[in-house]
Structure 1
Amino acid sequence: MTKPKSMIVAGVMSGTSADGVDVALCKIRPSPAENGPPRVSLIGAAGFHYPKALRNAVLAAMDAKAMAVADMSRLHWRLGEVYADAVAGAAEQFGVKVDLVGCHGQTVYHQGSASKYLGGDVRCTWQLGEASVIAERLRIPVVSDFRPADLAAGGQGAPLVPMLDYCMFRSDKVSRVLQNLGGIANMTAIPAGGAVGDVLAFDSGPANMVIDACMARLFGKGFDHGGVVARRGVAIRRVVDRLLRERYFLAAPPKSCGREEFGDAFVDRFLATCRKAGATEADVVATATALTAASILEAYRMFVRRHLERKASAQDVEYVVAGGGAQNATLMTMLRAGLEPMGVRVRAMDELGIPAQAKEAVAFALLAWLTWSGLRGNIPSATGARRPVVLGKVTRG
Structure 2
Amino acid sequence: MNAQISNLARIASAPSRIIIGLMSGTSMDGLDIALCEFTGAGLNTQVKVLHFITMAYTESFKEELKSVSFKSRVELEKVTLLNAVIGTYSAKLILQALDQWRYPLASVDLIASHGQTIYHAPVSLHQHKDFPNATLQIGDGDHIAVKTGVITISDFRQKHIAGGGEGAPLAVYGDYLLFSSPEENRILLNIGGISNFTYLPSGRNPDQVFSTDIGPGNTLMDQYVQLNYPGKYYDKDAGLAKQGKPNRELVKALLNHPFFKQPFPRTTGPELFNLSYLLEAQKISGQLSVSPEDVLASLCEFTASCIVDAIKLAINQQSFQVYISGGGMHNPLLLQKISEGLGSELLNTQDLGVDPDAKEAVLFALLANECVAGGQTDFGQRRGIPNVTMGKISLP
1:255 aligns with 2:266: yes
CA separation of 1:242 and 1:274: change in aligned 2, threshold 3 A: closer
Which residue number corresponds to residue 11 of structure 1?
A: 21
| Structure 2 match to 1:82 | 89
Do the aligned residues in 1 keep the contact of 2:188 with 2:199 (CA within 8 Å)? yes
Aligned length: 381
User: Partners in 2 of 1:377 and 1:55 — Cα distance?
Assistant: 38
CA apart distance, 1:137: 0.9
The offset of 1:16, in angstroms, is 1.0
Q: Which runs of 5+ in 1 are unaligned?
A: 310-314
Matches within 5 A, 1:1-397: 2=9, 3-5=12-14, 6-30=16-40, 36-94=43-101, 95-96=103-104, 97-113=107-123, 120-220=130-230, 221-270=232-281, 272=283, 276=287, 278-302=289-313, 304-306=314-316, 309=318, 315=319, 317-340=320-343, 344-373=344-373, 375=375, 379=379, 384-385=384-385, 387-397=386-396
Deviation per residue, 1:135-165 (Å, 9 max, x gap): 0011111111101111112111111112221
Separation of aligned partners in 2, 1:380 and 1:218: 46
In the alignment, the residues of structure 2 paired with residue 232 and residue 378 of structure 1 have an alpha-carbon distance, to the nearest angstrom, of 49
The CA distance in 2 between the partners of 1:66 and 1:273, in whole Å, is 26
The structural deviation recorded for 1:272 is 4.5
1:203-222 CA-partner distances (Å, limit 9, x unpaired): 00000000001111121220
Q: 1:275 to 1:213 in 2, by over 3 A?
A: farther
- SS of 1:222's equivalent? coil
Provide the rounded CA distance (Å) in 2 between the counterparts of 1:216 and 1:8. Answer: 38
> What is the root-mean-square deviation in Å for CA atoms of aligned residues?
2.2
Q: Give the secondary structure class of the aligned counterpart of 2:358.
A: helix
Change (3 A) 1:149 1:380: farther
- Larger mean CA deviation between 245-254 and 84-93 belongs to 84-93
How many angstroms does 1:375 deviate by?
A: 1.4
What are the superposed Cα offsets for residues 157-202 of structure 1, whole Å, 9 maximum, x if unpaired? 1111122212221122221111111100010110022323321210
Q: Do the aligned residues in 2 keep the contact of 1:150 with 1:378 (CA within 8 Å)?
A: no
For normalisation by structure 2, the TM-score amounts to 0.90
Counterpart of 2:4 in structure 1 is none
CA-to-aligned-CA distance 1:257-292 (integer Å, 9 cap, x gap): 111111343243245557726421100000011111
Identity %: 29
Alpha-carbon distance in 1 for matches of 2:380, 2:307: 22
Question: What is the TM-score normalised by the length of structure 1?
Answer: 0.90
Q: Give the direction of change, closer, same or farther, for the CA distance of 1:60–1:270 in structure 2 (3 Å limit).
A: farther
Q: Distance in 1 between matches of 2:382 and 2:328?
A: 22
| Distance in 1 separating the partners of 2:198 and 2:56 | 27
Unaligned runs of 5+ in 2: 1-7
Please state how far the C-alpha of 1:239 moved relative to its aligned partner: 1.9
In 2, the alpha carbon distance for the partners of 1:211 and 1:116 equals 27
